[in-house]
Chains A and B, each alone.
Chain A
Amino acid sequence: MIGLLNIYCEDEQRDFTPDQADLTMIYANQVAIAVRNAR
């Protein structure tokens, strides 16, 4: 693991859903690919 992608919201108390977490994971994978490409 080389880092974190973090999403949050200051003014809503509604928790993130598993679907939203999965989508965040997709973006995190893209970030990881971008980091690998940049190397």
Chain B
Amino acid sequence: MLGRLLPDLTTALNARQAFVAAARETARGKYLEITAAHPAADLRGRRLPWRELFADLIEDSRPRVIDPLGEETPDVIAGLELFNATEAILVRAQGVTGNRVVGICNKRDAEAGPYLASDGRVLDNIIELVAIGARVGERHTQELQSVHRTSTAVSAEYELDRLLPMISRQAAACSGRRRPASCCGTRLRKTWSSRPAMGCQIRWTAADSKDVIMQQVERLGGYQPVFTPRLSQGDGRRPDGIERGASRPEVSAPLLTSGR
């Protein structure tokens, strides 16, 4: 998505080149890998050496405008030797799976004046808007991959002690929280069986309290997922059972089988 913007960015900002590079880290160190470049598309896959400039940009996310005014033979910017860049604007694009650096290099028309801080802000705003959309796309991709993994597991595995914690873990991981917890409880023949999966230390042993919750989920949600705060409506109190803390956000989804 970012790569498709590069031709227009070079035109709008009077640049000769533009690139998108993903921050990578291996056991041998960090580097930037070019994922898109304009006009030299064949630079894709090439690496830019890790420099303090990139580290600081990714750390604080402030756009960097580098334009050595008045120098007849300005130095090439350290890290951007591949573009032979003597002037550049660099911004960060934050994704779900990592950071990217978007840069434009070298003015096409030298008479047009220097790059200004306002140029950096313009590029930063454009890239941030695109990055917001990209993050949504990345999250949905991760969710679909996760659902596919669990679907495959359900088709191939019949052992509930392995399956239920795995599915609960995937559900928690896709919750958008840094430290989610999940627990799956089933009630068969009036006996509760719970399987804490991720960060959850509570076993559902009090069958009566879980039945109360299930009744309220049925009443309030109509077989839809229910936010626990809604459970406290009506009688003015939260049901006992699932949680110790009284105010944490929570969502409960009913396990439905056909005809029940």
Interface residue B184 (Cβ < 8 Å from any Cβ of A): yes
Q: How far is the CB of A39 from chain B (nearest CB, A)?
A: 9
Whether the Cβ atoms of B251 and A4 lie closer than 8 Å is no
What is the number of contacts between chain A and chain B, taking CB atoms within 8 Å? 177
Residues A5-21 near B (CB distance < 8 A): 5-17, 20-21
Q: How far is the CB of A17 from chain B (nearest CB, A)?
A: 8
Interface residue B250 (Cβ < 8 Å from any Cβ of A): yes
Whether the Cβ atoms of B227 and A10 lie closer than 8 Å is no
Whether the Cβ atoms of B249 and A9 lie closer than 8 Å is yes
Whether the Cβ atoms of A23 and B171 lie closer than 8 Å is yes
Whether the Cβ atoms of A21 and B227 lie closer than 8 Å is yes
Whether the Cβ atoms of A16 and B218 lie closer than 8 Å is no
A8: chain B residues at CB < 8 Å are 180-182, 200, 228, 242-243, 248-251
User: What is the chain A residue whose CB lies nearest that of B213?
Assistant: A4
Interface residue B74 (Cβ < 8 Å from any Cβ of A): no
A residues with a Cβ closer than 8 A to B are 1-17, 20-38
Known: A7-B172, A8-B228, A36-B257. 15 other contacts (CB 8 A): A2-B255, A4-B184, A5-B171, A5-B183, A5-B252, A6-B253, A8-B251, A12-B177, A16-B175, A21-B224, A24-B175, A27-B147, A27-B167, A27-B171, A31-B186
Interface residue B150 (Cβ < 8 Å from any Cβ of A): yes
Q: How far is the CB of A27 from chain B (nearest CB, A)?
A: 4
Question: Can you name 8 A-B residue pairings with CB atoms under 8 Å?
Answer: A4-B255, A7-B175, A7-B180, A8-B200, A23-B174, A24-B251, A34-B160, A35-B186
Distance of A21 Cα from B253 Cα, bound (Å): 7
B254: chain A residues at CB < 8 Å are 1, 3-4, 28
Q: How far is the CB of A34 from chain B (nearest CB, A)?
A: 5
Distance of A12 Cα from B182 Cα, bound (Å): 14
Whether the Cβ atoms of A7 and B217 lie closer than 8 Å is no
Interface residue B187 (Cβ < 8 Å from any Cβ of A): yes
Which 8 pairs across A and B sit closest by C-beta, in order of nearness? A28-B253, A3-B186, A21-B225, A27-B171, A8-B250, A3-B255, A32-B255, A9-B177
User: What is the chain A residue whose CB lies nearest that of B150?
Assistant: A30
B175: chain A residues at CB < 8 Å are 7, 9, 16, 20, 23-24
A31: chain B residues at CB < 8 Å are 163-164, 167-168, 184, 186, 255
